[in-house]
Amino acid sequence: MNRKLRFGMIGGGRGAFIGGVHRIAAQLDNQAELVAGAFSSDAERSRVSGEDFFLDPKRVYASYEEMARVEAAMPADRRLDFVVIVTPNHQHFGPAKLFLESGFNVVCDKPVTFDLAQAKQLQAIVRKSKKVFMLTHTYTGNAMVKQARALVAAGKLGKIRKVVVEYPQGWLATRLEASDQKQAAWRTDPKRSGAAGAIGDIGTHAANLAAYVTGLKISELCADLTAFVPGRKLDDDGAILLRFHGGAKGILHASQICVGEENNLSLRVYGEKAGLEWKQEHPNELVVKYPDKPAETWRRGNSYVGDEAKGATRIPGGHPEGYFEAFANIYREAFRAIAAEVAGKKAPANLDFPTIDDGVEGMQFIEATVLSSKRGARWVKFPAVT
């Protein structure tokens, strides 16, 4: 294409954290520009958010339904190429369905929908529409996560035996939702978050990261979920045992009541020949461990890393890259597919971004985890059969 992609945003207006992240990431490579939005369910908030972003007032909408109707009627040289959905979980399905059926590509925050039934319905809509659907599992965009994946795929670790993935946070160690903290309020509300709290919010990230790096699929799981904070309706802590197809076993821990922790996502993978460790708070490093020689610390930006990591590296070694760059990397991959779709061409080979299928797996993970815990931490098949 000889122009930037045009996108609109649903949610993410004034005061929203994740909306700003998406706007920065989507525009970091100068391949896309924000031209429209329904930035809030409150029409006035949407309007002033459009002013913040210096948008044409005629393309700032009071609702996503109005946005879909007006934008679909735009001439080809003005209409949107894709939309970005950055609302709470219960408000994902409606706009995703409408915009896909109106002929637009879609980028959506995770988890993909409110429940598994919606996710499966949306999966069918995506396939029928033949549009691009990208889910923002951010951490798969990190260069050294891609290096870890390449090492596993090349057999450098040997057959995988053990996977340990942890995502502790501490920001919900008190009943923050009782204050005016909107991020806490919707994440702890079953009417907006869905069946799970911490497991839905960050446990899905942990499960997706483990699957992305190892290529392993869960066969069974055993979960113990707890709401430690009095009065909280959804889990704020979870411990899950995993069994994978092929014989590997794993442990997944996700918690938002670990006092003092910030965003300490980490992954350890152990095979017959070697192990590796990656930590989100130190994303530029990958530690590779051996039984008969010292551990190696691989660093992003060096000549010895593989092509996958090099392709996700933006600046020379020693200059730290992290969250925004990882986000931008998955956007950049999605743009390859969206640009091809807009041009009526076949999608490029070897695309590397999370899709609706990852979204369905995430909802299956939530469902199975909640079911196992309700049954007294009993093993359940994955996907769960209720």
**Range of lowest pLDDT (237-241, 293-297, 380-384):** 380-384
28-66: per-residue pLDDT in tens?
999 999 999 999 999 999 999 999 999 999 999 999 999
Residue spans of alpha helices (H) in 255-379:
307-311, 323-342, 356-374
pLDDT tens per residue across span 286-335: 999 999 999 999 999 999 999 999 999 999 999 999 999 999 999 999 99
DSSP state of 88: -
Number of alpha carbons in the 13 Å side-chain half-sphere of residue 224: 6
Question: What architecture does CATH give domain 5-139+328-355?
Answer: 3-Layer(aba) Sandwich (3.40)
Output the six-digit token pair for 339: 């640009």
C-alpha 369/C-alpha 15 separation (Å) is 32
Q: What is the pTM of this model?
A: 0.96
Nearest to 281 by CA among 300, 268, 266: 266
Are 101 and 72 in contact by the 8 Å Cβ rule? The answer is no
Inform me whether the pLDDT recorded for 180 exceeds 90. no
What pLDDT, on a 0 to 100 scale, did the predictor assign at position 52? 95
Output the CATH code of domain 143-315+362-381.
3.30.360.10
* Short-list 237, 233, 231, CA closest to 191: 233
pLDDT, position 385: 63
* Burial (0-12, 13-18, 19+ Cβ within 10 Å), 163: buried
pLDDT at 15 over 90: no
Q: Is the peptide bond before 383 cis (omega within 30 degrees of 0)?
A: yes
Which residue's entry shows tokens 């930006």? 301
**pLDDT at residue 137 tops 80:** yes
Q: Is the peptide bond before 88 cis (omega within 30 degrees of 0)?
A: no
Where do the structural domains in the chain lie, given as residue ranges?
5-139+328-355, 143-315+362-381
Per the DSSP assignment, residues forming a β-bridge with 7 are 34, 82
What pLDDT does 386 receive?
55
Q: Is the pLDDT of residue 100 over 60?
A: yes
